[in-house]
Amino acid sequence: MKIPRRTNAVRSSLRFSVLDGAAYAAMLGLVQNYITPLALELKATTAQVGLLTSMPQLVVGFSQLAAPHLSERAGSRKGLILPMVFMHAFMYIPILLIPFIISGNQVWWLIAFVTVSTAFGAIANPAWGSLMADLVPIRLRGRYFSARGRIAGMITLVFTFTAGGILQVLTNTPFIGYAILLGGAAAFRWLSLYFLSRMYEPEAAENGDNDRSMFHMVSHVGTSNLGRFTVYVALISFAANLASPFFSVHMLRDLGFSYLTYTVIISSASISSLVFLTYWGRRADIAGNMKVIKVTSCLLPIIPLLWLASNNVYYLVFAEIISGFGWSGFNLAAVNFVYDASEDQNRTKHIAVFNTITCLATFAGATIGGYVAPHLPALLGYQLRTLFTISGTCRGIIVILMLRMLVEVRHVPTVSLSRFLLGR
């Protein structure tokens, strides 16, 4: 990937951003797929697993509303990003100590600490997104972020397998294994803090819309193309999170898979995402982010339904490969679309509004899913399969009703579907 000639500070910052992404990816690999298994080791119920996903999203959603103001108070975007990242890393320490020093209500303490940790990490996201949008030229965003994501994905994959191996070896003493994972996650997040501190921060465009409050922007979200897109992604997030937190529960509790088998299945999605990020990045740069959104949106309703057909490990690996293919393109294009559609001087606010609404939708989906699941009739032997069916149906309805309302914001050539999918 070639980056046009720019200042040395910007070039250096883009390299440091890749290193930050690599360290962050190592942290993710160690913890993102293992917090729910930790909750299950602490005897969490299905409803508590839902809250483990939903409560952080609720707090994150409201914290995003304060993020632009906090960035202004901090004096710069990095002035907010760095302390929030430090605290994000620090909160892994009390999480790893829960099984050893807390004797009662361990799952509730886990939910509380994970919520606080997630909130610290998320408060920095609008400022970070604004910073990266200033550093990466618009015509290269698809390729740059897909390349950055590909590197991060490889590292996440390596550490996901490493984490699964550690837990498998320490099956008889699982809390020791989780302590190792969480301690490593804290260390890698602090390493990413170092790389972030080395990045150059361009002078942000002056806010030309200071008189508009965050509440005003949220309440008028449906009046613009970006606002309608935000609502669309939020509804997709709601429908997806009716089911997403519970695939781990289904594998570990219902199907009785070992940590190793669980790791192989969940890693299949990561491998697929890694393989196809460059594929989607090129197509987004050429044909526009909305073209990628529309194509991948057609796959999203199918993904949870694939889990109904078989319990065979090889088949579930195939299902996760399809999931990684679809979600990698959708997520990459969604982020880049928000960057493209928001004004330079108000990008931090627009990103914060987008994050707020999608986080609240995620909260609603995971909470409802967790509380509804135990009361659903079993489908093909399992209640969670009924929940997966509901999730897929909701996704399909949202795609049919809303996708046609969204339009591309960049000037891109018209590309046929066959050329888009099969062209180089």
**pLDDT band of 421, cuts 50, 70, 90:** confident
Chain position carrying tokens 């679309």: 337
Query: Across all residues in the chain, what is the average pLDDT?
Result: 88
Buried (b) or exposed (e) across 53-88, using 16+ Cβ within 10 A?
Answer: bbbbbbbbbebbbebbebbbebeebbebbbbbbebb
> Rounded mean pLDDT of 125-135?
84
pLDDT at position 285, please? Answer: 81
Q: Is the pLDDT confidence value at 75 over 80?
A: no
> Rounded mean pLDDT of 168-179?
94
Q: In this structure, how many other beta carbons lie within 10 angstroms of the beta carbon of residue 222?
A: 10
Question: Considering the chain, what percentage of its residues have pLDDT values greater than 90?
Answer: 59
Q: Is the pLDDT confidence value at 191 over 70?
A: yes
pLDDT at position 220, please? Answer: 64
Write the pLDDT tens digit of every residue in 258-314. Answer: 999 999 999 999 889 888 888 888 888 888 889 999 999 999 999 999 999 999 999
**pLDDT band of 378, cuts 50, 70, 90:** very high
**pLDDT band of 414, cuts 50, 70, 90:** confident
- What is the value of pTM for the model shown? 0.80
Q: How far apart are the C-alpha atoms of 390 and 384, rounded to whole Å?
A: 10
Q: How far apart are the C-alpha atoms of 303 and 423, rounded to whole Å?
A: 25
DSSP 128-157: HHHHHHHHS-GGGHHHHHHHHHHHHHHHHH
> Rounded mean pLDDT of 118-133?
86
Candidates 3.40.190.10, 3.30.450.90, 1.10.1740.10, 1.20.1250.20; correct CATH number of 8-200+214-422? 1.20.1250.20
Query: Which residue(s) pair with 382 in the sheet?
Result: 379
Write the pLDDT tens digit of every residue in 87-114. Answer: 999 999 999 999 999 988 999 999 999 9
> Rounded mean pLDDT of 65-84?
82
222 or 297: which leads in pLDDT: 297
Measured CA to CA in angstroms, residue 285 lies from 142, 232, 288, 295 at distances of 5, 22, 6, 15
Question: Considering the chain, what percentage of its residues have pLDDT values greater than 70?
Answer: 93
> Rounded mean pLDDT of 112-136?
88
pLDDT at position 418, please? Answer: 77
